[in-house]
Structure formats: structure tokens, C-alpha cells
Amino acid sequence: MNRLLVLTELFLPTKGGTAVWAAEVYKRLGGKAIHIVTADVAGAATVDAAHPNAIHRLSLKRVAWLRPESLAMYARFFFRSLGLALTHRFDAVHAFRALPEGLVAWVVARLTLCPLVIYAHGEELTTWGRGGKYRTMRFALRHADRVVANSEHTRDTLLAMGIDRARITIIYPGVDVAVFRPGLEVNGLRESLDIHPDEKLVFSVGRLSRRKGFDQMIRAVAQLRAEGMLLRYVIAGIGEDADYLDQLIAEHHVHGIVYRIGAVGEADLPRWLNACDLFAMPNRDINGDNEGFGMVFIEAAACGKPSLAGEAGGTGSAVLHQQTGLRVDGNRVEAVAAGLRDFLTQPERTREWGLHALQRVQREFSWERVAEKTRQLKLSKMDPD
């Protein structure tokens, strides 16, 4: 039986890959012997009632007048986690990020003589410069007994930070293959946007932020339409770039060609991935902010679709170039357009890569497989640097 204390600020019903990962893996590792300390958010009671682990909710909001603003959050995290650790005999403490969870988890683990695992997702390692937060994050990672990296790129970033290779284990995130699968009913999706059967449909979903490359996709689609290619492009998601993307759609005169449909419900996302011909997210690095892995590429693959990804960050672990999709320079519209052209003019190869992507997901990326790798983590307390 796994007896674990898990610290994660991000947990369902909060959206995002980290929240999903935490919820999906630990429910497969055990029941109430696994205690998860996380943020209290709207809708939490419904999630907690159905989840097999013991969930402890806290107010983890920053307080504007405190210095630092996160002081109260750290204190609440620490005292609840320490209390649980002193009243239960945990086998290990897991933290889903180095900050804030990892620092708190390090103190709790050392006080209670438990091994410590900290997850690294990639983007958080490169966006904080080299100031106090970066040094604190690096301290927590260097003093973990095991660091879980979500891709080879994240592992290499950790090595550059001075983290001991012997402490790093790569575990890719996963996907629910019962939810994301081929053959789902898609009636009404293309029709709702008046997309004709003979037109190719390219689909993107994610937070509307610059590094995702949705702006480059709009420019590339406009170029291919000018060449006479029959395609439509659908962008799902919300975020800070919404107005910017709308301006690009107007600037390139692609109303009725490019659609922004906002947030997509959980039931509809697998259907859109079934309805499209290709998934695209040509991500790029923006001031150190990049894609650590890209779980959505795996969700698309689980639906039998190949992906067009950017070369930045850890997408090479999610999309195998010229095997399950293409990776292109997301900084160059010409490269994005060329990648789209390759896919859409070679449908047999596109279907073949989609099949390879599906087979790879079924073999390596189910949540059951991720949970088994997590269960097999070799933990022994290591001397600090």
C-alpha cells in the first residue's frame, strides 16, 4: 500500500495539465492512505466527494499587504502538511512543483525523516530569471531525493541547473485513453461552423498565450488559403491573447475561415480532436517561457491524430518528428505554413502518422502506465549537496 503525502497547489477542478496529472495518478496508486494537500477552489466539494484519496483543502491565496505576499500561503501549507506527517506514517512526500510546494515539502520531509519527490514541468524552470525565486527553486530541487522530469528537455534543463543526474527520473504525463479515443460521435461539430466535408480541418486548443503559436497559425492559414487550399482552422481556449488573435483574424481577412470558439467542455474536446484532420500548436520560446511537454499533443494522438508542433521546449518527447507528426520552427510563419502544407497535401502519410501516434499513446501514455512508473520510483534518502 502506498502511504503518501502529496502537496500540489493545482488540483481538479482547476484546469490544466498539472492539476489533471495529480488527480489521475494518485487515485490509481491508492485510496485514503494517500493524503493530498491542495487549494480550496470553487467546485472542489464535488471533485473531493468522488475522489478516492484523502483531500485536504486550504485557502492558498496571496495576501497583497503581506511581505512577501505568499507568506500566509506558505504558512498554511506548512502547518497542515506537517500536522498530517506527524500523525501518519508516510512512505514519502511528493511535491508537484518546486515552488511553493517543494520548499514546504522539503521542510516537512526532513522533519519527519521521509524521502522527498519534487516534480519539474519545464516552463517554471526558465521563467524566473536568476533572482531569489530561482535560487530558492534550485535549492529545493537540489535537496530532493528524487526529481521527476516530464521530458528529456526538462531533464536537460535540470542538469544545467546543477541537479544531480542520479536523482532525476523521467516520467511523461499521460492521458485517459477511455475518454480520448478514436471513433467518437462528431455529428454537428463541423456543421456548426459550416465546414464542408471536402475541407480540411485543423484544430488547436490551449491557453491563448503567445508561446502557443496560434498567431503564427492564423498567418499560415491565411497564406495557404491564398494559395487555394481548402482548409478551416478552429482555435479553442481562453486567455490573454484573445483580443490579439481576433485582431489578426480581421487583419488577414480570414473571418469564416478561422474560428475562435472559446472554452470547450470536457465532453466536447475529444470530439473536436476526432473531427479534425490535424492538431496544431507550433509553440515557440518567449523570453524563456516554453512548452515543457505538451499534454494536448498526447490527447490528440490518443484520438488518432498527428500533430504539428514547434521545436521549442520539450515537445520532442510528445511529438516524434516524421513519425507521429512534425516539429517546425514556430518563430517562422513560412516554416509553419510548410508543415501544414506537407500534412494537408499528403493525406495517406497524415493518416499513417496518426496511427503511429495512437499506437504510441496506447503503449506508453495511459494514466495506468504513468501510475506504474510512479509506483516504481526508487527512493532512498540522499545526502544533501
pLDDT tens digits, 7-40: 999 999 998 889 999 999 999 999 999 999 999 9
Please name the residues in contact with 88: beta carbons below 8 A apart, sequence gap of 6 or more.
Answer: 3, 5, 35
User: Do the Cβ atoms of 241 and 208 come closer than 8 Å?
Assistant: yes
Q: Which amino acid is residue 53, in one-letter code?
A: N
How do the pLDDT tens digits run along the chain, 385 residues long? 689 999 999 999 998 889 999 999 999 999 999 999 999 999 999 999 999 999 999 999 888 787 777 889 999 999 999 999 999 999 999 999 999 999 999 999 999 999 999 999 988 888 777 888 999 999 999 999 999 999 999 999 999 999 999 999 999 999 999 999 999 999 999 999 999 999 999 999 999 999 999 999 999 999 999 999 999 999 999 999 999 999 999 999 999 999 999 999 989 999 999 999 999 999 999 988 888 899 999 999 999 999 999 999 999 999 999 999 999 999 999 999 999 999 999 999 999 999 999 999 999 999 999 999 999 997 655 544 5
Collapsing DSSP to helix, strand or coil, 327 comes out as strand
Domains of the chain: 4-174+366-375 (3.40.50.2000), 189-364 (3.40.50.2000)
pLDDT tens digits, 227-256: 999 999 999 999 999 999 999 999 999 999
Q: What is the dihedral of CA 110, 112, 117, 121, to 10 degrees?
A: -70
Residue 139 has a pLDDT of 97
User: Do the Cβ atoms of 308 and 336 come closer than 8 Å?
Assistant: yes
Residue 125 has a pLDDT of 87
Residue 119 has a pLDDT of 98
Q: Where are the alpha helices (DSSP H) in the chain?
A: 17-29, 44-50, 71-87, 103-112, 132-142, 152-160, 189-192, 214-226, 242-251, 268-275, 295-302, 315-318, 333-344, 347-364, 367-375
Grid coordinates representing 10 are 493545482
